[in-house]
Chains A and B, each alone.
Chain A
């Protein structure tokens, strides 16, 4: 058991538990819609064209820049479109996607079996393979994994986050029950890649089966497995580090700065696939659950498979549903199932519509203070966020909010507090951008003024100098003139004198 439990948090039982969360394979879809926009690192640039035939596992797009990530074809077939499609995002925006029409063969690119055991590769080679496989954080953050490992080079501890603390999501639980060997092996790969001396698998104590299966395959004494109490937000990276190691990562700091690398257990499995089997990331495990399906279950589906196809297997009820991607606490609501599974789709909630709870005024009861895992005062923050008083909100540590939604969950007035905070953060970013822009413009303007003034002065100085030179010249000329005149006068006088003398 972890010794250093954090304050706050809420215990929320899984609303739709299943007896044994096995993984069911979803057949490759007839059409795959692959998202190019990555959660971190911008939009990937397609390297195929419409009409090209691609094989499963082939790279079809790449992001450039600091955090390059590959996108691979998840089925074999013909590229039928590269166009804007709606993506699972709260704002309902469209983003560029590559559409592959399946040829039904699921023909793979030639996978070169690793010629050597990963331990004989250098960490750089392992990292390269992770990068090429297009792996990102599969717990939902979507941060490019190779970049995270690179930043944490020389870490003393690797933490494998298998808490899966958000109620309803079961994909990691099932992954651990079905692929314990691969996960342990994947951890060894990771330890090799970041040269960590020890690894801790953190697992919530409501997953005894997963724990047992990992214990059965763990023969590495540098890998320990720790159970932590089941409590929502136990899996938040900084809180997990606090629980396991009693290290409090300062606000704004990173785990890597303190010698800790945190990776989700699903990511670890993907790393195993990439490094040991040399398979890129083209599928993932996703939980389908909610009040609107008869059988909540986990599925392994190719990326780009439509939500509808996966949900179908769980026997949804015959009515309109509320669909949510991600967990019940931090997920995003989306209008329907016409979206496709992307690398961070860990869960699809299919709920029968429920009337929205009536939002009442905040009565400052402070239930939210008690559950806030990062020890904020949500009721005060709410006050300032609502009145868009960002400066005050920042004073109350707005930026430390992890938007876990525990406060929403306990609020007796049903106020969506976390949404207010995420809005306030966005507003702050906007204001900061506007301020930066204004500063830049002012800087430019001031420089222009300065430049004009400088030019004017330089010109004035130049003119003055010229004038002075001219005056001097004129004075000299005048002197010269005078001298000439004097000479002439003298000469004349001499002539005059001579004339006089002749007489």
Chain B
């Protein structure tokens, strides 16, 4: 029934879900064979000391003094791989193996933000095709 108790595992290590792709930490997760909850801290606010040059340029072009919507973008982990959730396609986009991951979530989040902006603004983003198909002329 609803209102029982949180039965998922806690995040203790930045590489937790790369080392253990199933992420079955708690008793309940092992029992049901499914990870409960996010694989990253959705409430982690950004450390502005770690902005990348690309992100600084992006904020300037958009006329924003902070990360704005990108504050909600984090590097996540799916199937043991680093990935970023793209809300515009409602799916995970893989981070290529050629990108080496920093040892902390804050710097990883900045990389995730940069990759996601570049992807969303590119011509190969699925939204470009969707728009062509369904736009009102």
- Tell me if chain B binds chain A: no
Q: Chain B residues in contact with chain A, CB under 8 A? A: none
